[in-house]
Structure 1
Amino acid sequence: MAARRVHFLAGIAVAPFVFLLAATGLGHTVAPLLDDLIHPTALFVDEVGAQALPVSEQVSAALIEHRGARVTSVTVPGDPDRTTRVALDVLGVPLSVYVDPYTAVVRGTLESTGTPTREWLAEAHRSLHLGEPGRLYAEFAVSWLPIIVLFGVFLRVSQRRRSGARAWHGALGLALAAALLLIGFSGVQRTVLAGERVSAVLSTAPPRLHAPPVTPAPARVGVDDVVALARSAGLSGALTVVPPERGDRPYEVAESGGGPSQVDKVAVDPYLGRVTAAVGWADYSATAKARAVATAFHHGLLFGWANRLVLAGVALGTIALLALGYRMWWARREAPPPVWRYLSTRARTLLIVGTAGVCWLLPVLGASLVAFAAVDRLARRRSR
């Protein structure tokens, strides 16, 4: 009965925010396809050549178009039909210049750090374009999501079979449970308040690249040598090169293909011309690997377009699940009775301690839980 009450009351309160996450998540899922449709000239080459030109020539082509700009990163494509992205800072304005790697011809310039479509949809999913305060909506929903899902699964497998909307709600929830838990595990670690706490408790933070100090010298290696050194160190696929902002810092090169195991990163001393530090998939702890896999699934990068189709299905299925839940609530319009008074002293103690721990770990959940309890108690007093 307690599981049913928590699932019912939390579901009713959290459902609108989960709906927003599902709807904006659906948009974010199709963002790469929209990018390719909206910006084909910038993102693709006309013809795949026999061999790409040196990366330095491609960067020079971008700088000719925007003199005085500062290069913030260069992304070398992993696919032969894609363009090279040169990210620039032009008096504080971020620009992405897309260059044909075979001809060094600028194919297009977009005023964003990535592509505008994907960035807009990602920000809608993250904060509804309300800034840092807007991120709390996602934290509220993603903090409650695992609890609602787990209680729902318990109710589905422990109770007798139902018919109508309740049967469909239970079956659909059971089918979506694993995906929703993966998304919740990934999402909660990117939240404003709970993210660092959850990451610290579960030890899911990825290893950091610790490069030794750089001693400036007259001669520096160029971006072509840096890319070659990264390739020789084992990095593959698309690479993102971040040049040092100061003379005493190294280049950083990271795999940017997006797969969970494509996380290798190296530091290159710009004066010695050698790799001075490296981290890779083998350096990740088991929990950090679990987080990387969950995040790749959440972003549609785990198994290509099939992953994105699954995510689209999960988003649409979640919206249907919420609609069925509200249909059940409308038909019943009352929550199951509280069971606190029927619990033993030991059960109450364990529940209080466990709830306090969860509330510390997930502060938005804790604050909303107190609010739920207060409103529920007030409503029951008025109904007497």
Structure 2
Amino acid sequence: MFGTKDFYRSVWRWHFFAGLYVVPFLIMLAVTGLMMIFDPIIERALHSDLYKVEQVSAEPVSLEAQYQLVAEQYPNSTIKRLYVSDDASDATRFQVLVGEDTRSVFVDPYRAEVTGDISITQSWYTWADDTHGTFMLGLTGDWLIEIATSFTILLILTGVYMWWPKSGQSAWQAATRISGKGRSLWRDLHSVVGIWVAVILLFFCISGLAWASVWGGKMVQAWSTFPVEQSAKNVSSTLTHEDLNLKGLKQMPWNLEQAPLPESNMPVFGQNTITLDRVVRDAKKMGFTKFQVHFPRGEKGVFTTSASTMGRDIHNALDDRTVHYDRYSGAVITDVGFMDYNWFAQSMAFGIALHMGQFGVWNLVACTLFCLAVILLSVSGVVMWWKRRPANAFAAPPMPKDLKRWQHAVWLLLPVSLLFPMATVGMIAILVVDALLLLSIPKLRKVWA
């Protein structure tokens, strides 16, 4: 069955339909991905005068005093978090919500002076991240991208089948041969590039789908969420760790986003909130070096220190850690580290760092080459189809003569697609559209079948 011409045509037709939908999304994801891995580097280079202090003196002013400087400079605004660096030459950086705009505000801790700010909301990174995750269409865009990512897995499976070495050809020959000209050259380029990036593309699909609202939010993320309420005496009924993220920008660990935030015990009479300096000092005693401090939300809120690959604080996922402190007593309420994650959450912590090019120059180069390869793969597929199609026809690959083979291909792919619900939705839509074009619109049949 699997070696027949009709079965090959069936797989080819599915490959075409999936690619027709996926190509624009893959190009968008590759381009925005490149923007996201390079924008932080470019921003630091362009604004080195803000990120770095002019001169390091013996003793910086207290963090509490720096907090007050920012509060005075930005009245009627909300200070959301503090970024703590392990480099004495780095300026202190606060995240401040000013109206509808969130800004990075920089303080020279040695001169006790606010040196400037950069808009996060209006940054290229935030735009690329929002486009990358939702196509700037909210939940609808999230669903569209989830279908595209699920279909990419179908593209990988059908593509590997179609590439599989023919009789008398070695796997190496099939994976390296680029010859001929015209459509033959584009076909070889498409298949060779595709087979070399297939496993990496599958990794990016799985890690990307873990953020999606259906497969990620309803299935694997819910299953992988750490149960904070088991160690915290009180938890919020309305706030989760996701609420600590900036809108459109994820910084909290993936497996904590859906977990409720713990709450502080109500203070005794006259008890005040602990100082920011104490929170940072206690966090460093616990082993934190480069991390974020999230400020309490409401009178029962907690101080949260987090160091994670998701927040770009650290590169080694083994050091992932989130600690919540009672805002009044300073007691540790919850301490969640990498070893507390389940196996999928652990793989996500490592995968995120790889996905975002955080392991140094080699990782940046690898991610760049991969994104360029995905763009080339997408463009070559379109060109190859365009050169193959009949004149004046928007034609799909031919239907198999024996329709049972078409059905066999469906049953072969359906169990895989059922693992990803949005792929199933997409497959059903393709079957319906294909049937309508072939059976209900005779004039289109000539240019489609």
TM class, shorter-length: 0.7 to 0.9
Aligned residue number for residue 214 of structure 2: 193
Compared CA separation, residues 373 and 353, structure 1 to 2 (3 A): closer
Distance 2:98 2:217 in 1: 33
Q: Does 1:140 align with 2:147?
A: yes
Q: For residues 41-120 of structure 1, what are the structure 2 equivalents within 5 Å?
A: 41-50=49-58, 52-91=60-99, 93-112=101-120, 116-120=123-127
Distance 2:52 2:277 in 1: 22
- Aligned match for 1:268, one of 304, 309, 325: 325
- Aligned match for 1:308, one of 341, 360, 364: 364
Compared CA separation, residues 348 and 170, structure 1 to 2 (3 A): closer
Q: Does 1:371 align with 2:422?
A: no
Aligned residue number for residue 190 of structure 2: 169
Q: Unaligned regions of 5+ residues in structure 2, if any? A: 1-7, 180-184, 235-264, 390-395, 440-444
Aligned residue number for residue 227 of structure 1: 280
Identity across matched positions, percent? 27
Q: Is the 8 A contact 1:204 1:289 kept in 2?
A: no
Distance 1:310 1:51 in 2: 41
Aligned residue number for residue 136 of structure 2: 129
Distance 1:204 1:151 in 2: 30
Distance 1:128 1:81 in 2: 38
Deviations 1:8-39 (A, max 9, x none): 32113321221111122222221112212333
Deviations 1:94-150 (A, max 9, x none): 33311123333212123436x723212222322343444333442232221222123
What amino acid is the match of 2:344? T
Q: Is the 8 A contact 1:135 1:192 kept in 2?
A: yes
Compared CA separation, residues 127 and 362, structure 1 to 2 (3 A): same
Q: Is the 8 A contact 1:28 1:125 kept in 2?
A: no
Deviations 1:295-315 (A, max 9, x none): 2222222x1343222212111
Distance 2:111 2:283 in 1: 23
Structure 2-normalised TM-score? Answer: 0.75
Compared CA separation, residues 267 and 339, structure 1 to 2 (3 A): farther
Distance 1:315 1:349 in 2: 30
Q: For residues 290-329 of structure 1, what are the structure 2 equivalents within 5 Å?
A: 290-301=347-358, 303-329=359-385
Q: Is the 8 A contact 2:400 2:406 kept in 1?
A: no
- Aligned match for 1:29, one of 24, 32, 37: 37
Compared CA separation, residues 9 and 133, structure 1 to 2 (3 A): closer
Aligned residue number for residue 418 of structure 2: 357
Q: Is the 8 A contact 2:11 2:409 kept in 1?
A: no
Secondary structure of 2:325's aligned partner: strand
1:264 offset after TM fit, Å?
0.2
Distance 1:300 1:9 in 2: 32
- Paired residues in the alignment total 376
Deviations 1:214-234 (A, max 9, x none): 131313320111111112222
Distance 1:179 1:13 in 2: 21
Deviations 1:162-204 (A, max 9, x none): 6422222111112212221121111112123332234158x44
Compared CA separation, residues 299 and 105, structure 1 to 2 (3 A): same
What amino acid is the match of 1:45? V
Secondary structure of 1:176's aligned partner: helix
- Aligned match for 1:332, one of 384, 388, 393: 388
- Aligned match for 1:215, one of 261, 266, 270: 266
Aligned residue number for residue 154 of structure 1: 161
Q: Unaligned regions of 5+ residues in structure 1, if any? A: none
Structure 1 window deviating more from structure 2 (132-141 vs 273-282): it is 132-141
Secondary structure of 2:164's aligned partner: helix
Compared CA separation, residues 353 and 16, structure 1 to 2 (3 A): closer
Q: Is the 8 A contact 2:22 2:149 kept in 1?
A: no
Distance 2:61 2:213 in 1: 42
1:207 offset after TM fit, Å?
5.7
Distance 1:85 1:339 in 2: 66
Structure 1-normalised TM-score? Answer: 0.86
Distance 1:26 1:349 in 2: 35
Q: Is the 8 A contact 1:226 1:251 kept in 2?
A: yes
What amino acid is the match of 1:228? R
Q: Is the 8 A contact 1:212 1:277 kept in 2?
A: no
What amino acid is the match of 2:199? A
Q: Is the 8 A contact 1:76 1:240 kept in 2?
A: yes
What amino acid is the match of 1:63? A
What amino acid is the match of 1:215? M
CA RMSD of aligned residues (A): 2.9
Compared CA separation, residues 123 and 352, structure 1 to 2 (3 A): closer
Distance 1:138 1:22 in 2: 13
Q: Is the 8 A contact 1:7 1:148 kept in 2?
A: yes
Q: Is the 8 A contact 2:77 2:98 kept in 1?
A: yes
Distance 2:142 2:294 in 1: 28
Aligned residue number for residue 337 of structure 2: 280
Q: Is the 8 A contact 1:166 1:324 kept in 2?
A: yes
1:252 offset after TM fit, Å?
1.0
Aligned residue number for residue 403 of structure 2: 341
Q: Is the 8 A contact 1:9 1:335 kept in 2?
A: no
Compared CA separation, residues 47 and 207, structure 1 to 2 (3 A): farther
Distance 2:88 2:398 in 1: 59
Aligned residue number for residue 301 of structure 2: 249
